[in-house]
Amino acid sequence: MEAWIEVIKNLDWSPLFISLKTGVAATVISFFLGVYAARRVIKATPKVKAVADGLLTLPMVLPPTVAGFFLLLIFSKRRPFGEFLYANFDIKIVQTWLGCIIAATVIAFPLMYRNARGAFEQIDDDLVCAARTLGMSEPRIFWTVVMPTAGPGIASGTILTFARALGEYGATSMLAGNIPGKTGTISQKIAMVIQDGDYLTAGVWVFIVVVMAFVIIFIMNIITGNKMKTVKRW
Amino acid sequence: MGIKVQVKKKFSGFDLDVDFVSSSSRIGILGRSGCGKTVTLKSIAGIQDIDRGYIKVNGNVFVDSKKRIILKPQQRKVGYLFQNYALFPTMSAAKNIMAGLSGQAEEKRNRAAEMIERFHLKGLEDHLPGQLSGGQQQRVALARIMAYEPEMILLDEPFTALDGFLKDRLQHEMLEMLDEYEGIVILVSHNRDEIYRFSEDLLIMETGKIVCSGETKEVFRNPGGREAASLTGCKNIVPVKRLHDRLVDIPDWGIKIRSTKVLPAEFSYIGYHAHDFIPVWGENNGNSIPFNLKSTAELPFEQQYFLNAQGMEICWFVQRELIKEIESRGLPRFLKIDPEKIVYLN
């Protein structure tokens, strides 16, 4: 017990904040991109739909290290696009926090996209038609009719996206590396201390992650549960 | 006031090609499921793509393909009552009613309150659609449309989803609520009773085309074609041969009918309503069909006989007094046809 307290007293909390910041940023980006992509894909022709759907889901199916490899190919300063970003905008992706966000977003995005698409596809076409005949503008229909009706699907997509972004390891370690205080996320910290044989520190971090996961799911369930309780769904 | 609709659209199963004009404010469209009624209605509201067309309502052009005019549904001010009512499931009844309104929140609330009063929805304002019964949902949907003050209202099979007992009452209620409405109302249905009760002008549709149109009672009296006759409730339709001005041969039933009046110049079928046969217990004194009984069906207020005349079926429906007479005297030997009541069809 004393050993635990000693570890917690001297703990470097930076991985927690880096992970949380990365998770929130990646979730916000994935939310808007995923919802937008889902909306576009549903309206597309079957052929475009098949291709777009495959590309957008790919990062979820590929091993994260493979996604990391592609990201390195794109963003490395020795590659055209990475060089272009660095030369023109002074933006560095590899070995930076920006890299953490990009890696987490790419890996978590498909979860948001697929959940949003599924939720949108469930919506009765007549609802949107009814809204149109009532003179509601398209953006208003989307935000007041489509999104609330798709609520549960969107919410679960958001939870899963956040959880996945929070725990991202493979692509992140390749693109952003594990620089303590900069890109060192909880997952990377755990892997690192385990390699050093420091099971006590690893245990503390594992405990924190498990508690966090429970709290997130609990909060989201309350939010969606209250609002959706009385809405009839099959 | 008036409406002119020309719509063309190719579907995989059939081609929609609708063309009608009406100056009535209560129009009915009668047709079987899948004949294109709903598509026609949706294209008037602007929520169905069409290939070509021209739609003009009360002087406003909604669609004119030649001039490349297609108004958005938002610009048409057409209220549409969906088969399943299409209430927004996450909004309360009151919010649903306010959905189409613009302006100050205060104004919207007042307008919604007015509608809630008018459509007997007091106490249900905060209920979600999932907590309402079918009839209540329909009233909310109608209130939502009325609050929006549309120039025209389209009703798509509004009573199909309701059970029989409720249906009669709701039909009555809805007609009362619509009485005050001065714009054009179009009702689409496969139920001839609804249509007969509601509409002044009637269109009959068959596989994407309008096969008969005119004043409702006249269309029911004289539907013109076989499909139209069957949709307006004519149970017996047989091919015939016009022999001369006052004589028609019905080979299927093995009789020739003599009319006191001159027959129409051209027709190849006749329809005869199941209620219109006259039972004959005595001798055959002309215009009468001998028959065998095939089966019967007993309904609360009606007895239905399915008869066999030379292998062809005849439907004979009998009500009240006559049922008693048949009970005491047995089935008649012949069924007599009244030439006045024959419907002549092409």
Chain segment A96-113, per-residue pLDDT in tens: 888 888 989 999 999 999
SS3 at position B269: strand
Please say whether the beta carbons of A110 and A59 come within 8 A: yes
Q: Which residues of B touch A149 (CB under 8 A)?
A: 88-90
CB pairs under 8 A between A and B: 78
Choice between A11 and B322, residue whose per-residue pLDDT is larger? B322
Identify the band that residue A230 occupies on the pLDDT scale cut at 50, 70 and 90.
low
Q: Which residues of B touch A232 (CB under 8 A)?
A: 89, 128-131
Q: From the CA of B273, how many Å to the nearest CA of chain A?
A: 39
Contact check, Cβ <8 Å, B73/A145: no
pLDDT digits (tens, 9 = 90+) for A34-81: 999 999 998 888 898 889 888 888 888 889 889 888 888 888 777 877
pLDDT of residue A128: 92
Q: What is the DSSP string of B33-77?
A: TTSSHHHHHHHHHT-S--SEEEEEETTEEEEEGGGTEE--GGGT-
Q: Using CA coordinates, name the residue in chain A closest to B76.
A: A133
Q: Say whether pLDDT at B282 is over 60.
A: yes
Partner residue opposite B89 with nearest CB, options A132, A135, A149? A149
Separation between Cα atoms, residue B185 and residue B150, nearest integer Å: 10
pLDDT of residue A29: 94
Identify the band that residue B193 occupies on the pLDDT scale cut at 50, 70 and 90.
confident
pLDDT of residue A226: 58
User: Of chain B residues 117-176, which have a CB less than 8 A from chain A?
Assistant: 128-131, 144-145, 148
SS3 at position B284: coil
Separation between Cα atoms, residue B211 and residue B223, nearest integer Å: 9
pLDDT digits (tens, 9 = 90+) for B68-102: 888 899 989 999 999 889 999 989 888 999 988 88
Examine the predicted complex and report whether its ipTM is higher than 0.95: no
Contact check, Cβ <8 Å, B130/A232: yes
Please say whether the beta carbons of B101 and B128 come within 8 A: no
- Cα distances (Å, whole numbers) of residue A135 to A59, A222, B58, B71: 40, 34, 19, 12
Q: Say whether pLDDT at B214 is over 80.
A: yes
Given CB atoms, is B73 within the 8 Å cutoff of chain A? yes
Q: Say whether pLDDT at A229 is over 70.
A: no
pLDDT of residue B118: 85
Amino acid at residue number B127: H
Given CB atoms, is B226 within the 8 Å cutoff of chain A? no
pLDDT of residue A67: 86
Choice between B161 and B132, residue whose per-residue pLDDT is larger? B132
- Return the percentage of chain A with pLDDT > 70, whole number: 95
pLDDT of residue B158: 82
Q: First and final CA of chain B: distance in angstroms?
A: 33
Q: From the CA of B119, how many Å to the nearest CA of chain A?
A: 18
Residue B223 sits at φ, ψ, to 5 deg, of: -70, -20
pLDDT of residue A216: 80
Quote the distance between the C-alpha of residue A105 and its chain's center: 5
| Mean pLDDT of the residues in chain B | 88
pTM of the model as a whole: 0.79
Q: Say whether pLDDT at B220 is over 80.
A: yes
| Mean pLDDT of the residues in chain A | 85
Candidates B85, B88, B108: best to mutate against A (most CBs of A within 10 A) is B88
Please say whether the beta carbons of A94 and A82 come within 8 A: yes
Q: Which residues of A touch B46 (CB under 8 A)?
A: 132-133
Residues in Cβ contact with B185 at an 8 Å cutoff, skipping those fewer than 6 apart? B25, B26, B27, B152, B153, B154, B155, B178
Identify the band that residue A33 occupies on the pLDDT scale cut at 50, 70 and 90.
very high
Q: Which residues of A touch B80 (CB under 8 A)?
A: 129-130, 133
pLDDT of residue A132: 92
Q: From the CA of A199, how many Å to the nearest CA of chain B?
A: 49
Chain A residues near any Cβ of chain B (below 8 Å): 124, 126-127, 129-137, 144-145, 148-149, 151, 227, 230-233
Partner residue opposite B47 with nearest CB, options A129, A227, A233? A129
